[in-house]
Amino acid sequence: MKNVVFPFFVFLIALLSFSSCSNQRIQPPSQPERSYFDNAEPGVQSGGIKMIPIKTPKGTFNVWTKRFGNSPTKKILLLNGGPGCTHEYFECFESFLPKEEIEFIYYDQLACGNSDNPKDTSLFDLDRYVDEVEQVRVALNLDKNNFYLLGHSWGGILAMQYALKYQDKMKGLIISDMMASCPLYGKYADDVLAKQMDPVVLDSIHMLEKKGDTKNPRYMQLLEKHFYSYHICRIYPYPEPVKRSFDKMNMDLYVTMQGPSEFGISGKLTNWDVSAELKNIQLPTLVIGATHDSMDPKYMEWMSHQIPGAQFLLCPNGSHMCMWDDQETYFKGLIKFMKEEH
């Protein structure tokens, strides 16, 4: 009897071991991976897209947002530049942030991209855009436990202004390629960048500006060849998402706020300056600049010293669009910041 029981017992152990190995091979993905790609939307699935009604002094308009991923503690709302560009030039974030399980949210500001485009230029106002971002935050259920705001270029102006008013609603701030002073931005363009250009080309640009002939194709041709290719994006031709975003630029918004080009500033934002207020931002903050930027990288480093506890990231090979032309530095630094305990 013992001889019969023993082989049966050995067979039973082997069977259980095989079953255990089989179960291990068909285990579902780990919980964090499943959580990041989990779709939390009720009802009809929209691919993360949400249209948000925004109340303004001129009525209610809809703005477009799209969530990518799902993280309970790390959600980045992306503020595009211009003003007047679209979210599309941020599409390179899809190649880096999902594998780190960092949620990010595309957002076309009012009069940009997929959002409503009212023609009333009185809506093109910094304080009104700050209020818009707050309405978007509430609609997306972002709060101080998860809400990071990343503003690039004009989006950096908007992010700084928002943080100065609503930092109690935020977890962290990323200022990408934007100075805290438009007068100093203009001075850097005139005193440093302009002097690097061919004097004949510079005279031609200034002549067209004085004539108010900035819609002349020659004006943008000169800027793209002699300025944008060095200081805006050093990849030429532009990456497709960058070109797509630039092609959709709302020029009415851009000219109203910025002026006719990136070569200095002459619109509503000409005198904007919060240099003295940076010390009031009490948030984990990352300031990003680039060696070849249209913004002064030394000044942006100085900004990081004014914000208590802030960090500075320099992209040595990058320009204003350093999330494209120095991706290795940009995303390594951004991800490191997001992985820290805040």
How much is the average pLDDT of 162-190?
97
Query: Quick check: 159 and 173 in contact, CB under 8 A?
Result: yes
Counting every residue written for the chain, the total comes to 342
Q: Do residues 96 and 8 share a domain? A: no
Q: Which residues constitute the domain of residue 30? A: 2-36
pLDDT digits (tens, 9 = 90+) for 283-299: 999 999 999 999 999 99
For residue 53, the tally of other CB atoms under 10 A from its CB is 11
**110, part of any domain:** yes
Give the count of domains, the chain: 2
Is 12 found in the same domain as 90? no
Residue 205 domain-assigned (yes or no):
no
Question: H or E element: which one contains 32?
Answer: helix 31-36
Please give the mean pLDDT across all residues of the chain: 90
Decide if 83 is inside a domain: yes
Predicted pLDDT of residue 265? 85
In a shared domain, residues 83 and 158: yes
Looking at the fold, whether 69 and 146 belong to one and the same domain comes out as: yes
Catalytic positions, written as ranges: 153, 293, 320
Burial track 117-128 (b if 16+ CB lie within 10 A, e otherwise) = eeeeeebbbbee
Residues 18 and 108 in one domain: no
pLDDT in tens, 84-142: 999 999 999 999 999 999 999 999 999 999 999 999 999 999 999 999 999 999 999 99
Q: Is the distance from CB of 178 to CB of 289 less than 8 angstroms? A: no
Strand-pair partners of 107: 65
